[in-house]
Amino acid sequence: MNIRPLLQALDLQEDAARALADDLRTQIDALQALLREAETHLAHLAITRKTVTGLADRLPASPPELPEHPDDTRILAVLNEATGPLRAKEVCQALGHEVLPKNVEGTRAKLKHLAKKLGILTQADAGSFARKQ
């Protein structure tokens, strides 16, 4: 009996199995690298969660309301640039409005709204307002 064809067939199967094993080792190496990256990402997320949780008591209970009127943003910009509290008349002038009683009173109403309802400003005295620090 000639066993040479049988040995050649075994050689072919061994070569195929060896190639498959090499390919699988390469895939395993790539998957291990991906696994390491995923585990590192998970560790970073855990650190972030711990940091955020530790800071949670320092955050306000609810986000502050944002100004509703376009002038509110401009008023806040004027008060940000001011070196001290401003009266309604001064804010009105800084906004470029005519200093008429109706404009000054409208500005005063907006200042009070920003101070009382939104809590963005503080009322320094009976008639002047400043940005909260």
What tens digit of pLDDT does each residue of 66-82 get? 666 777 888 888 888 88
Mean pLDDT of the chain: 87
Q: Please give the pLDDT value at position 133.
A: 64
* 76: nearest Cα among 108, 103, 114: 114
The residues with which 130 forms a beta bridge, in sequence order, are 122
pLDDT tens, residue by residue, 55-112: 887 766 665 566 667 778 888 888 888 888 889 899 989 888 898 999 899 888 888 8
Q: Is the pLDDT of residue 43 over 90?
A: yes
pTM of the model: 0.48
For residues 9 and 119, which has the higher predicted lDDT (pLDDT)?
A: 9
Q: Please report how many Cα atoms fall inside a 13 Å half-sphere around the Cα of residue 72, on the Cβ side.
A: 17
- Predicted confidence at residue 49, as pLDDT, reads 93
